[in-house]
Amino acid sequence: METNSFLLAMSRGRCGQSGDIADSAYCVFTAPLELQVTQDRIYMEGEDLVLELLYGLSGEPGALRLRQMGSNVLLEESPAGAFVRFLSDKSVKYIGQLIMYALQFKIQDLSAYVGGCADLMKELEDTLDNRMDNSGTYQLLDFRRSYTQCGNMVIAVKEILTHIDKGYYPMQMQNSYVLQGQVMLEFQFLEERYELTKNTVIKDFDTYTSIINNNINRSARLLSLISLVGVTLNFMFGSLLAVSPVLGVVGGLAIGGLSVGASMMYRVNRRQENPLEPGKRRYAIGLHRKKLTEAQEVPPSEEDKPE
């Protein structure tokens, strides 16, 4: 069953009455994307050029494939159809222009993602400020993986543009040199923005991760050190207990005090890492039964009451 649809006619375009590619010349047709696109690349299939691109890092994911078929081009795209909408206000006269418009579309998609990375990283940091455990680390790692994927796409687009600039596809790229220069310039700006963001946001990421790990491990290291000292003293005073009961009792009291002090220090550090919201306080230990960590609203003082 034929699924091709006529999209536009290029310079000297002629579409047959049947609307089929075989009866047309210098036309662009669309079709559903059947074979999956796995990477950004350009290659020759016999005497015809094929361009495959992924897009949608900052929005709905999609993919497209431009396949030259003689003097015609078949555009295969995922249901999102973002590239077809991008072409709606473009004048396409040659195959080379269509190729460059596809690369321009890809570059703009990557630029939108890179431009939002700084705000996304700031939002993540604000969200994770009150989390002093490992739960937020995985979100930061997902962000880093996504940015690395963007970097791989930037390299792939650079490779495609380099091949075009070096004249690998002279027949297909005729009459598109002005657009080539514009797209090359846009890619240069994209590459500079990507490197700038990598040198700032990713370094902030490393610093923020180190702060989180230090906050997690600080109290644990202190408690482990004091526990080790307690075990050592327990062994020492346990030996003295056989020689002198008085020294054994004193040693036991010292170990007990050391353990209580370690617990109090660990609890104080945990409170500093997880402060309560303004206007709330923890219950103190009393004879009545209340949860130690329960938060209670503090009534306003006489000075804070409105007149």
pLDDT for 213 equals 62
pLDDT digits (tens, 9 = 90+) for 282-306: 444 343 444 444 445 555 555 555 5
Tell me which residue range forms the domain holding 173.
Answer: 5-214
Q: Say which residue, 196 or 286, is predicted with more confidence.
A: 196
Mean pLDDT value across residues 62-81? 93
CA dihedral 22, 28, 29, 35 (to 10 degrees): 100
Length of the chain: 307
Q: How many domains does the chain have?
A: 1
| pLDDT (average), residues 186-194 | 94
CA distances from 229 to 216, 236, 246, 278 (A): 21, 11, 21, 38
Confidence of residue 58 (pLDDT cuts 50, 70, 90): confident
pLDDT grade for 162, boundaries at 50, 70 and 90: very high
Q: Within a domain: residue 257?
A: no
Poorest-pLDDT segment among 80-89, 148-157, 279-288: 279-288
The CA R_g of the chain, rounded to the nearest whole Å, is: 33
Q: 305 lies in a domain?
A: no
Q: Is residue 125 part of a domain?
A: yes
Region 4-18: what's the mean pLDDT? 82
| CB within 8 Å of 21: residues ≥ 6 apart | 4, 27, 29, 69, 72, 74
Position 150 in a domain: yes
Kindly state whether residue 56 falls inside one of the protein's structural domains.
Answer: yes
Q: Is residue 174 part of a domain?
A: yes
Q: Is residue 128 part of a domain?
A: yes
For residue 127, what are the CA distances in angstroms to 120, 136, 139, 271?
11, 9, 10, 19
Does residue 280 lie in a domain region? Answer: no
